[in-house]
Structure 1
Amino acid sequence: MTNKPSASSDDSTSPTYWSSVARLGFYREDWVTEVGPALSAPPTPIPYAMIGCGLQATTVVSPSAERAGFRLSAVCDVNRARAERATLGHGDVRVYSEYQQLLRETDAEVIFVCGPPDLHHTAGLAVLESGRHLFTEKPPAWSSSDVAKMQDVAARAGRKVAVGLNKRHAPLYRHAMELLKSPPYGPPRVFRMSYSHWPVAELRDHLFFFSVHAVDLCLQFMGPIEEIAIGRREFGGSRSLTVYAEHSSGSTSVLALDTTVAGLRERLDLSGDEWLISVDDVTSIQWAHGAMMSTSSWQPHFAVPGPSSDSYVLAGYVGEMAAFHRAISSDQEPEAGLDAARRAIDVLELIGESPEGITHRRLEHAAAGQDN
Structure 2
Amino acid sequence: MTLNIGWIGCGRHATQMLMPQLGRNGIKVAAVCDVNQAAAASAAWQYGAEAVYQDYRDLIAHKDLDAIGMAVGPELHHTASIAALDRGLPVFLEKPPAKTAAAASEIAAASKRARKPVLVGFMKRYSTGNRIAGNVLKGPEFGKVLGITGTYMTAPTYFAGEVDYSGFFLHHCVHYMDLIPWFAGENFKDMAVRKVEPEPGHLLFHLNFECLNGVIGTIVMGTVQSRGTPMEAIQIMGNHIRLEVDNVINVACYRDPPFKADDPDATLSDHTDTLSWTPNFTAAANEDHKGYHALIADVAAALKGEKSAAPDIGAGIRAMENLERMIGLL
- In structure 2, the partner of 1:19 is none
- In structure 2, the partner of 1:30 is none
Report the residue type matching 1:158 in the other structure.
R
- In structure 2, the partner of 1:320 is 295
Q: Which moved more, 1:101-110 or 1:317-326?
A: 101-110
- The alignment partner of 1:216 has SS state of helix
Instruction: Please tell me whether the aligned partners of residues 191 and 326 of structure 2 are also in contact (alpha carbons under 8 angstroms).
Output: no
Give, in angstroms, the shift of residue 78 of structure 1. 1.2
In 2, distance between residues paired with 1:98 and 1:333?
A: 31
Instruction: Please tell me whether the aligned partners of residues 196 and 258 of structure 1 are also in contact (alpha carbons under 8 angstroms).
Output: yes
In 1, distance between residues paired with 2:179 and 2:12?
A: 25
In 1, distance between residues paired with 2:110 and 2:308?
A: 15
In 2, distance between residues paired with 1:111 and 1:262?
A: 35
Alignment TM-score, normalising by the size of structure 2? 0.89
Give, in angstroms, the shift of residue 45 of structure 1. 2.5
Alignment CA distance shift 1:183-1:158 (3 Å): closer
Instruction: Please tell me whether the aligned partners of residues 274 and 291 of structure 1 are also in contact (alpha carbons under 8 angstroms).
Output: no
In 2, distance between residues paired with 1:107 and 1:337?
A: 24
Alignment CA distance shift 1:92-1:324 (3 Å): closer
Instruction: Please tell me whether the aligned partners of residues 74 and 106 of structure 1 are also in contact (alpha carbons under 8 angstroms).
Output: no
Pick the aligned partner of 1:73 from 14, 30, 37: 30
Pick the aligned partner of 2:155 from 183, 192, 198: 198
Alignment CA distance shift 1:51-1:181 (3 Å): closer
Q: 5+ residue gaps in structure 2?
A: 259-271
In 2, distance between residues paired with 1:228 and 1:278?
A: 23
Give, in angstroms, the shift of residue 346 of structure 1. 0.8
Alignment of 1:10-25 (within 5 A): none
- The alignment partner of 2:294 has SS state of helix
Q: Which moved more, 1:95-104 or 1:126-135?
A: 95-104
Report the residue type matching 1:85 in the other structure.
S
- The alignment partner of 1:345 has SS state of helix
In 2, distance between residues paired with 1:152 and 1:190?
A: 34
Alignment of 1:5-154 (within 5 A): 44-154=1-111
Query: Is 2:187 aligned against 1:224?
Result: yes
Report the residue type matching 1:304 in the other structure.
A
Pick the aligned partner of 1:181 from 133, 138, 149: 138
Alignment TM-score, normalising by the size of structure 1? 0.79
Instruction: Please tell me whether the aligned partners of residues 160 and 334 of structure 1 are also in contact (alpha carbons under 8 angstroms).
Output: no
- In structure 2, the partner of 1:305 is 284
In 1, distance between residues paired with 2:11 and 2:151?
A: 28
In 1, distance between residues paired with 2:327 and 2:212?
A: 22
Give, in angstroms, the shift of residue 347 of structure 1. 1.1
Instruction: Please tell me whether the aligned partners of residues 8 and 33 of structure 2 are also in contact (alpha carbons under 8 angstroms).
Output: yes
Pick the aligned partner of 1:169 from 126, 146, 151: 126
Give, in angstroms, the shift of residue 70 of structure 1. 1.3
- The alignment partner of 1:294 has SS state of coil
Same amino acid, percent of matched pairs? 28
- In structure 2, the partner of 1:362 is none
- In structure 2, the partner of 1:269 is 235
- In structure 2, the partner of 1:340 is 315
Query: Is 2:252 aligned against 1:290?
Result: no
Instruction: Please tell me whether the aligned partners of residues 160 and 333 of structure 1 are also in contact (alpha carbons under 8 angstroms).
Output: no
Report the residue type matching 1:300 in the other structure.
P
Alignment CA distance shift 1:170-1:294 (3 Å): same
RMSD, matched Cα: 1.6
- The alignment partner of 1:235 has SS state of strand
- The alignment partner of 1:209 has SS state of helix
Give, in angstroms, the shift of residue 185 of structure 1. 1.1
Moved over 6 A (4+): none
Pick the aligned partner of 2:204 from 210, 216, 240: 240
- The alignment partner of 1:119 has SS state of helix
Instruction: Please tell me whether the aligned partners of residues 163 and 336 of structure 1 are also in contact (alpha carbons under 8 angstroms).
Output: yes
Instruction: Please tell me whether the aligned partners of residues 238 and 259 of structure 1 are also in contact (alpha carbons under 8 angstroms).
Output: yes
Instruction: Please tell me whether the aligned partners of residues 128 and 249 of structure 2 are also in contact (alpha carbons under 8 angstroms).
Output: no
Give, in angstroms, the shift of residue 87 of structure 1. 1.2
Report the residue type matching 2:299 in the other structure.
F
Give, in angstroms, the shift of residue 69 of structure 1. 2.1
In 1, distance between residues paired with 2:204 and 2:283?
A: 39
